[in-house]
Amino acid sequence: MAVALVNSKVCKNITTCTTGWNVTSGNAMFVFLGNGSGSSPPTLGVTDGTNSYSVVGSVDQYGAHIYIYGTILSAGGTTLTVTTAGTWNSIVIAEFSGVT
Reduce the DSSP state of residue 75 to 3 states and report it.
Answer: coil
Within 19-53, strands assigned E span: 28-36, 44-46
Residue 61 exposed, middle or buried by CB count within 10 Å (0-12, 13-18, 19+): exposed
Q: Where are the alpha helices (DSSP H) in the chain?
A: none
Fold held by 4-97? Jelly Rolls (2.60.120)
* pLDDT surpassing 90 at residue 97: yes
Q: What is the DSSP letter of 77?
A: S
- CA dist 63 and 57 (Å) reads 16
pLDDT tens per residue across span 9-37: 999 998 899 999 999 999 999 999 888 66
For the chain, which residues make up each domain, given as ranges? 4-97
Q: What is the pLDDT of residues 30-84, one digit of tens each?
A: 999 888 665 566 667 777 666 778 888 888 777 778 889 999 998 888 898 888 8
Q: Is the peptide bond before 42 cis (omega within 30 degrees of 0)?
A: no
Distance CA 20, CA 94 (A): 11
